[in-house]
Amino acid sequence: MIKKHFQKEIEISGTQSRTGANVSKEVSKIQSWLNLYAFSNPNLGITTNIDGDFGPATEKAVKNYQAAKGHTANGVVTKQLFEEMSNVMKVAFTQPIPGSGLRELVVNAAKMHLNAAPRELVIKGQSNSGPWVRAYMDGNEGKDWLWCMGFVQTVLDQATSQIGQQFTDIVKRSFSCDTVAIYAKQKNNFISYSSVRKTPSLVKPGDIFLLQSNKNSNDWIHTGLILGVNDEVFETIEGNTNADGSENGYGVLRRSRNFMKSKLDIIRIV
């Protein structure tokens, strides 16, 4: 795999605790994973500030997490406990993808990530932050780092790596939808939204969609992966979106998009 930053998000160098020596950056990772777990378990009392300070609030959040998991609630985060906290990312990035053929692998890899419920955090007032964003964006985060293309290229990276290929043979390595679209046009891998509307069968599972701006035909504002084509609808999995289909949402979601109403261009992966 080319995109390996996720490895830094699933490990800490040593035990972290309130009374012992602690590393601010690693404490922030612990706090981040506590908050991510809290989204699906809001009653456990494990939400805490992400500030790098292992104070009494973080210690209590850790104790509540340990109690919920059946561990001794001592407020101490060992390497083993942190591995448990972040294991959902390890599974999404390293578990063998079921299936054969690039298209099936891309679809199934996207589903693996979807099942992990990746989402961003707001850290120190900055959206587009947290372990999942950094994993998709090669360590970058913050309000200006829209991560939909980072998600798409991560999935492509995993799928191509499993069959001995590189995703950079398909798309240009970039977080910019515009840059990727222009490169696809040069490679003749680009299908315009007008062609899609005339012949939807051109689009296959695993292909990449690019949402074109209504104001500028050379501006693409969002991207995701095609799961299937049904009537006038694309079924998709996409990152950095929300219920409104925003290009700057909060997580990875499975969505339906009407390609007869939206300008959805396509990049063929094979």
**3-state DSSP call for residue 121?**
strand
Q: Is the pLDDT of residue 215 over 90?
A: no
pTM, two decimals, is 0.96
Q: 120-143 pLDDT, tens per residue?
A: 999 999 999 999 999 999 999 999
- Residue 19 confidence (pLDDT): 94
Q: Is the pLDDT of residue 214 over 90?
A: no
**Residue partners of 58: CB distance under 8 A and separation at least 6:** 18, 27, 30, 31, 34, 48, 49
Sequence spans of domains, the chain: 6-89, 97-267
Question: Tell me, what amino acid is at 19?
Answer: T
**Burial bucket for residue 265 (CB in 10 Å: 0-12, 13-18, 19+):** buried
Q: 76-117 pLDDT, tens per residue?
A: 999 999 999 999 999 999 999 999 999 999 999 999 999 999
CB 117 within 8 A of CB 39: yes
Domain boundaries 6-89, CATH class? mainly alpha
Q: 31-65 pLDDT, tens per residue?
A: 999 999 999 999 999 999 999 999 999 999 999 99
Cα(65)–Cα(38) distance, integer angstroms: 9
Q: Is the pLDDT of residue 21 over 90?
A: no
Cα(157)–Cα(4) distance, integer angstroms: 10
Q: 230-248 pLDDT, tens per residue?
A: 999 999 999 999 998 888 9
